[in-house]
Structure 1
């Protein structure tokens, strides 16, 4: 591979991508869910990443950009019924736990990560698929484009989301702009007003907002802004904090929890067809 993509051993084993013009850097670990663990834009370390926790493979990862597929959130009893058969599918699906394939994009402007079905995935989600995700650092932004191919002979239902963790200076000095006025509080599974949740970052929040346009994370301590620019249908926004970690997750989802059961924003791909998804994070 060209020198824009190199394998590194410190501070943990990963692949490092450096944009040939801007010098912006990505770190990615394809073996552990295809996770992007670092996005350095200029002199700003954008993503939060708990390297100590990551070093213990028995623990879930806290940080980077985990990928959620074929569901976002959880299913009741972790059960996905398909054609009269119940399959066990854990929270957020399996994509964040499996090894992905990594390549440099032909024009060297970013990286490509891909994941296809295996015997293991078909045991919990009986479909054949190929996910190809292009991650591109751009001028003060990160663009993620995803293509999902249905290789099955039946219609394939799915949800897709990203779970990025963003560094903040102080949870008490964080604001969010652009969210829908109403939200679903995941901690109580009850609808409420979004303003009531925005004042609880230090207590820990987990809520979902329906589409209302771009969402901006404002770090008042350093006057930094990060804006999630959605593209339909990945235009739901989930906000999550886990105090005392100095981070806020601003997550684009295609469908809410239980989507594949309730039908609420459930996406389907016909046999042999593809579905394209994209979003962008811009910083200022």
Structure 2
């Protein structure tokens, strides 16, 4: 096992699994971003290195973290009992520096984010996010513990949580996603749609959400590989997003749809002192 800071090809922390040799590269200063996951000798994650090198540009790649919202809110406004707050698309977790440490059993890494003065301007709660990231045999397991650490009792802390991983594919035209239900919600038109019609447009660009009854599998027909997302309630919604001509597919587990904190649809909430745990696994099958 190795866990060390590296300077090339960019500044990051590297974790190498002691038995499999699978590797994680993580940049905690850039939103706790997992930038690379080498599994069985194959790099699973897509990363646009040019955009990554320019902090002024939004990231395209790795595994961004979405908290305390997934998607956006009307006029970026979060209405709470204590007032209205400006909270931008996908929240702030993907933009802030996290802390990183080796897990006690040395099976992976722990990333931690806590509230600060800047977060409380947009989201008036004390919180702690802890993500345990383990590269297992032919799999990546992520466990997230979310806690409301507010010092005084107020309204419950509402939130949604999601991951936005970018996965390499050989060619969008020879990629497929299996395990989705017949109907989905098209984010581009904000309307229900036929899932099959959306999947036929991966190479043209899609952004849709579906609630699958079981695992969802990304198939790279050209490479002959299958990557399965195994997720449990409440993080059992799946967003599929492509951004052609990039050779990647985002297969994202979310807890709630866009605007959940306003509509109440699958909105999660924690009272002062409460915690909850979420989990998902990506398996090469």
Global fold match (TM > 0.5): yes
* 1:142 equivalenced with 2:143 (yes/no): no
TM-score, structure 2 as length reference: 0.98
Structure-2 separation of matches of 1:232 and 1:108: 27
Structure-2 separation of matches of 1:20 and 1:43: 14
Match of 1:4 in 2: 2
* Pairwise CA distance, 1:211: 3.1
Match of 1:196 in 2: 197
Structure-2 separation of matches of 1:143 and 1:281: 7
Match of 1:223 in 2: 224
Aligned length: 282
Structure-1 separation of matches of 2:11 and 2:189: 39
* 1:165 equivalenced with 2:166 (yes/no): yes
**CA offsets 1:107-161 (integer angstroms, 9 cap, x no match):** 1100000000000000000100000000000010000000001012231110000
Structure-2 separation of matches of 1:33 and 1:84: 27
Q: Which residues of 2 match residues 249-260 of structure 1 at below 5 A?
A: 249-260=250-261
Match of 1:48 in 2: 46
Structure-2 separation of matches of 1:57 and 1:207: 27
Match of 2:76 in 1: 78
Match of 1:114 in 2: 112
**CA offsets 1:209-265 (integer angstroms, 9 cap, x no match):** 023210000000011000000111000000000000000000000000000000000
Match of 1:243 in 2: 244
**CA offsets 1:155-211 (integer angstroms, 9 cap, x no match):** 111000000000000000001110111100000000011001001111100000023
Q: Which residues of 2 match residues 260-279 of structure 1 at below 5 A?
A: 260-279=261-280
SS at match of 1:197: helix
Contact preservation (8 Å) 1:79, 1:86? yes
Contact preservation (8 Å) 1:4, 1:108? no
Runs of 4 or more, structure 1, over 2 Å off, are none
SS at match of 2:196: helix
Structure-1 separation of matches of 2:213 and 2:169: 23
Contact preservation (8 Å) 2:46, 2:167? yes
* 1:97 equivalenced with 2:95 (yes/no): yes
Match of 1:26 in 2: 24
Unaligned runs of 5+ residues in structure 1 are none
* Pairwise CA distance, 1:84: 4.9
Structure-2 separation of matches of 1:10 and 1:157: 39
TM-score, structure 1 as length reference: 0.98
